[in-house]
Amino acid sequence: MRIGFIGLGAMGLPMAGHLVAAGHQVSVASRGRDPIEKAVALGAQERPPADMAAEAEIVVLCVPSSPQVEEVLDAMVANLGAGTIVVDCSTIDPEVERRCHRRVEEAGGRYLDAPISGGTIGAERGTLTVMVGGEAEVLEAARPALEPFSGLIVHVGGPGMGQVVKLCNNVVYAAQLQGMAEATAMAVKAGVDPAQLLEVLLHSTGDCVAVRTRLPVPGVLPDSPATNGWRPGFMVDLMAKDLDLALTHAAKSGVPLAATAVARQVLAAAATAGYGREDCSAVAKVVFGLAGIG
């Protein structure tokens, strides 16, 4: 298939690479030269978004924010080919996403919101979870552009529902990170061996994805951000953006998010301390600092 891919960040570049490896004719666009050159080296072609809209059967977006999704559509919509499918793998405001659905459909195209979860490791391994909002028949037509980088694709409802489910996922994950940071700080300050803490948590009710992958003590988990200079699988700044979206959506819906509000405050403290581009588990450095743990 002819597939356009816009947004070659930490997630987007390996996703585009999987599409090339699957045998698709892939064109790419991104703000930075380095990822474009890496994608071209893998076998992709560089094309501007306006040309992709006219030439590609499917165009995948993977950009950081609602305004950037709308900016990309500004560049594409006038040239959009009849029946072209736009798949937005970004995480953005559900109401903005519904507006994007309408805009593309009015231009003669088709649209899916398909936010992803799994971090950079999932993108590199091709095991991402994709939460899809839109029409079922559009998803079936778009599967060849999703399956190469996915481990699980779930159709969760109509326009915007993929974004709602993604925000729900990150609300849970943010609570895991906050709870893990507090529990680990309490254990370390009491003199508990972090490796023994991990062993207990993995076999108890405290087990969760955050514990298994991001225990915030260097050397305990070899692949964790804490052991690898807090290299981001998902940055503090991006988690903060997603929690802002969740808090706004929940306020409109009349749903209280007390734990999420606390997690968002700690993310703000982490960003202020200079950890914004580090992995989101770096919130533990704030908790450790407040606890007087060096």
The catalytic site residues sit at 166
The rounded distance, in Å, linking the Cα atoms of 97 and 159 is: 7
Q: What does the block give as tokens for 247?
A: 């808090």
The bridge status of strand 150-157 relative to strand 128-133 is parallel
Q: In the block, which residue shows the tokens 């950037």? A: 68
- What CA–CA distance (Å, rounded) separates 269 from 285? 10
Dihedral sign computed on CA atoms, order 218, 220, 221, 222: positive
CA 284 to chain centre: 21
Residue that the structure tokens 């030269």 belong to: 33
Cα–Cα distance between 290 and 186 in angstroms, integer? 11
Sign of the torsion angle spanned by Cα atoms 26, 31, 33, 38: negative
Q: Around Cβ 257, how many Cβ atoms within 10 Å?
A: 20
The neighbouring-strand residues paired with 2 are 25
Token pair for 170:
């990150």
